[in-house]
Structure 1
Amino acid sequence: MGINLDPETGVHWEAEEKDWQLIRDNWPAYDKNLTPTNTMGAVAEMFRQVPGSVRSDHPARSVCAWGRYAKYPGKHTCVEHSAVSEAGKRVWKAYETLFVDGNDFEKIGEDYEKAYVVPGVRIGNALVRLMYQRELVDFAVKWMETNRA
C-alpha cells in the first residue's frame, strides 16, 4: 500500500505505459482509517490507532500526529493522484497534499552529529545512535529554515 500513487509518476518500479491503466483499475484503495501503515513497524501502526491521533490523507506517505499541533497546516502543497475509497467505492482522484521532501534528511543527520555528541551502541548487528528526540527535532527545524528555499 505504500506506493499508492498514479503509475504515471513512476512509483511502480518503472511500469510500462501499456500497464498504467491495469494498475489504476486494480490497485487497492486507500482509506486512512483502515489502511495499515507500510514499512514502519508495529509501533507506528499502534500509534496510528491511538484515540485522538490524526492521520494525513496521503495514500502513499501518510503521517500520523497526536496532540495540540496534530492538525498544523503545511506551508507547501502539491497535487498527486491515487486510488482512494469514497462512499465504499474505489476511485482514482487528484488531491492536494503536503509536499514532502526527505532528500536532505541524511545531510541533516550528518550535520546534527557534527554539532552534538551522538553515542552509538550495537544491538545485535545494528548500530544504534542514541539522542534526545526533542533536541534532534529542534535542530532539524532550524536546519530546514536555514537551508531550504
Structure 2
Amino acid sequence: MKLKEIVESTSTPRTLESLVLDLKKFDIDYDDTVIVHVSQSSIGWILGGTETLYKAILKVIGPLGTIVVPTQTMDNSDPKDWVAPAVPESWHQEIRDLMPAYDKKTTKTRSMGSFSEYIRVHPDSERSSHPQVSFAAIGFHAKKIVKKHELTPKFGMDTPLGAIYRLGGAKILMIGTDMTTCTGLHLSEALSENFKEKEISSCAMIVDNKRKWVSYEDKNYNSDAFSVIYDEYKKKVNITEGFVGSGSTKVLDFNNLIDFGKSFYDKLKIK
C-alpha cells in the first residue's frame, strides 16, 4: 500500500499512546516473549513509523520482555527454484558461484516487512546463524533464543523456535497478517513424525571460514494447512481478536498452538 493510500485510510494518526492502549486489550503481559508478525500498513499512518510501533510493543512487555521476528533470506537459494522473478537458466551457475554468503550482521531480509528489518538492524538485536531462515530478537532472552540454529532441521528444536518453546509462555502477535505468515507452526511440522516429505535446499554460507555453496536435505515445509489449523484451534481455545489501529489483530499462545499443530499433522495422511 502506498503512503498516500495509508494516510487517506487513517482517521487519526496512530501514536505511541494509542498503540499501547490497543495492544493492552490483548493477552500480552509484562515480561512476555512475543513473536511479532505485522503488516505495518494495515495499522494506518503511524506518527514515528516503525520506531513508534517497536516502542509501543516494548512498553507493553517491559525491560524483561523479548521481541522476536523472522528475518528470512530465501533469496540465498538455488536460482532454479526462483519464480518471483525467475532468471534465465544461463545465469544459474554464475549465481551459485558468486552468491554472497550469509552474514548475520549484514544480510538483509527478503519479504519480511519493515518491522522485521527494523529489528534486524537495531543495535541491540541478536540474530541466529541459519543462512535462509534466521530469526532476530531484542530483549531479556534474545541471546538464549538465537544462540543455536542448526542447518537442518531448520525449524526443529535446535533452533530459535525450539528455544522459545523450551522457555514456555511465549505469545504470537499477529497484526494485519494471515496465518500463512505464522512461522512458529513450522515447528509443528518439524516435530510431527507423520510429516515426512523431503526437499533439497541450497545456499551460500561460511564453512570453516570459507564461502561455500551448500546443499542440505530437510522437510518440505509449507504453510498450506496453517489457516485450517487456526480455524480448528479457535474452536477449542478462546482467542481475543480485535484491532491495533486498523490492523486486524490476534494473540496466540505459542506452545499451545504448536502442540495443537503437531497433533493436527499427526492425524493427517502425509507422504
TM over 0.5: yes
Specify every segment of 5 or more residues in structure 2 that has no aligned partner in the other structure, as ranges.
Answer: 1-72, 120-124, 126-134, 168-189
Secondary structure at the residue paired with 1:55? Answer: coil
Letter in 2 for 1:45: A
Give the partner amino acid of 1:57.
L
Equivalent AA in structure 2 for residue 139 of structure 1? F
Counterparts of 2:155 and 2:80, CA distance in 1 = 17
Q: Which digits, 9 at most, give the CA deviation of each residue in 1:80-131, with x for residues without a partner?
A: 2211212332221222334423221121112222333322111012111133
What TM-score do you get using the length of structure 1 for normalisation?
0.72
1:118 equivalenced with 2:239 (yes/no): yes
TM-score, normalised with respect to structure 2: 0.43
* Matched ranges for 1:1-149 at <5 A: 1-10=73-82, 13-30=85-102, 34=105, 38=109, 39=112, 41=116, 42=119, 44-46=135-137, 50-51=143-144, 53-57=147-151, 63-64=159-160, 65-66=162-163, 67=166, 76=196, 77-149=198-270
Letter paired with 1:87: D
Going from structure 1 to structure 2, the CA distance change for 1:37 and 1:46 (only over 3 Å counts) comes to farther
Structure 1: 5+ residue runs without aligned partners?
A: none
Number of equivalences = 144
Which structure carries more relative contact order (alpha carbon 8 Å, separation 6+)? 2
RMSD of aligned alpha carbons: 3.5
Q: Residue 30 of structure 2 corresponds to which residue in structure 1? A: none
Distance of 2:191 and 2:234 partners within structure 1 = 30
Checking the alignment, whether the CA contact within 8 Å between 1:5 and 1:11 is kept in structure 2 is: no
- How far residue 143 of structure 1 moved from its aligned partner, in angstroms, is 0.8
Q: Which has the higher helix share?
A: 2
Paired residues of 1:74 and 1:98 also in contact (CA < 8 A): no
